[in-house]
Chains A and B, each alone.
Chain A
Amino acid sequence: MECAFSDDFDQLHEDPYLGQPSWEKAERRLLEEAIAETLRKGKIEAQKVNLLFAGDLLNQIISSTFAAQTAGVPYFGLFNACATAGEALALAALLIESGMATYTLAGAVSHNASAERQMRFPTEYGSQRPKTAQWTVTAAGAGLLSATGEGPSVTWVTVGRVVDSAMSDPYNMGMAEVPAAVDTLVTHFKESGRKPSDYDLIVTGDLAAYGLEAAQQLLRDAHLDLGERLMDAGATYYGSDPSVQAGASGAGCIASFLFGHLLTRMRRHELNRLLVVATGSLHSPVSIEQGDNIPCIAHAVALENN
């Protein structure tokens, strides 16, 4: 399974194990590589980084912990499921804005096989996936933020509220995340005073094919017609590959799409004003088994070329 925009990625692997003995070890290796590559490209030594914000989908966010241990920088571990990269980027930017840090790192990772094993069924179990299912991406993304530099800059952060999706199907997370994404978008435009036309592109995390359609409808109902400006990373991540069902998901989805693909487009000035709305389903396997609805969240972060 290859991302349709993988030309923008710094490293690609053929082996889903990355030469490691297990999926979980492969996952932490992905984040370690993303952090190391980010520091190398930013020409910053790890010792100068004031804080790393990172998260993943595994229990006790273990991949991020080990990656932070390898990086050897002060670390705040985060869990916001597929919205983690948005949460990390928002916090990393706010810390710099507060004047408390000069360099911060934000990152997130997921691995298809480790996530399926933990959240649904192991892939070797061969469970049938319904058409609304999404493919957890095997990818990591990391971004380096600094108090000075050429940009692009984070210019606005709208932190999401936890929204009851009124849905409990773990094979339809994209649809579950729609109310949270719409809530955050409506709040963002209200509190910032900005208009949709202030952005070249508005990218949601992983609503996927069905969720994106539902979100467009709900946004029109809320008098926010984003039209062609609205794009969903999950729905476009694997192009038109039907084997991923509704699209991509996972903490690495918006992380690699934003830090790999979208920022490359911003550097080329194809995009100058970008709003990223990272969406996440915050359920646990136990909450699903006990019949709880999926609680969802979405964080909006605006990035602009200076």
Chain B
Amino acid sequence: MIFLWAFLVGGAICAVGQLLIDVAHLTAARVMVIFVVAGAILSGIGLYPKLIDFAGAGASVPITSFGNSLAHGAIAEVKRDGLIGAITGIFELTSAGISSAIVFGFLASLFARPRG
């Protein structure tokens, strides 16, 4: 059943992105920022983790999940270290993703060239 929910929820999130591009004429960069901020807000009010429990990869793969992880890391570190945790915790959960992007991007650039 979770596969069906993953398909529907993940598809719905992407459909919202497509509508923002086609109807609201937003650029891809703006859609990305909106999604990350929306994910962080939904995480802050406790909704996004529930969505991940419900739809699995349908909610954890779209970029909204990155916003969720940003907020999640910050909240956890605030609970542990006080307010400074809001600064130090932001990249706690997301550092693996960011570092991977840099490392694999570098590795790819060693043997691949953009084709245009």
Contact = CB atoms under 8 A, between A and B. Distances in A.
A121 B29 CA distance: 9
Nearest to B114: A124
Contacts of A23: 116
Contacts of B29: 121
A127 B28 contact: yes
A169 B25 contact: yes
A123 B116 contact: yes
Nearest to B108: A124
A244 to B, nearest CB: 14
Interface string A120-159: 1111110110100000001000000000000000000000
Interface residues of A, number: 17
A130 B116 contact: no
A171 B22 CA distance: 11
Of B22, B25, B113, B114, the most chain A CB neighbours within 10 A belong to B114
Contact of A128 (B28, B113, B115, B116): B28
A249 interface: no
Nearest to A120: B27
B16 interface: no
A112 interface: yes
A16 interface: yes
Given A121-B28, A121-B29, A130 B114 contact: no
B28 A16 contact: no
A127 B29 CA distance: 9
A58 interface: no
Interface in B25-62: 25, 27-29
Interface string A9-35: 000000011000001000000000000
Nearest to A113: B116
B114 A113 contact: yes
B12 interface: no
Interface in A237-265: none
A277 B115 CA distance: 32
B21 interface: yes
Contact of A130 (B25, B113, B115): B25
Contacts of A121: 27-29
A125 B32 CA distance: 13
A112 B116 contact: yes
Contacts of A124: 114
Contacts of A171: 25, 27
Interface of B: 21-22, 25, 27-29, 113-116
Interface of A: 16-17, 23, 112-113, 120-125, 127-128, 130, 138, 169, 171
Given A17-B113, A124-B114, A128-B28, 11 more contacts: A113-B116, A120-B27, A121-B29, A123-B114, A127-B27, A130-B21, A130-B22, A130-B25, A138-B116, A171-B25, A171-B27
15 contacts: A16-B116, A113-B114, A113-B116, A121-B27, A121-B28, A121-B29, A123-B114, A123-B116, A124-B114, A125-B28, A127-B27, A128-B21, A138-B116, A169-B25, A171-B27
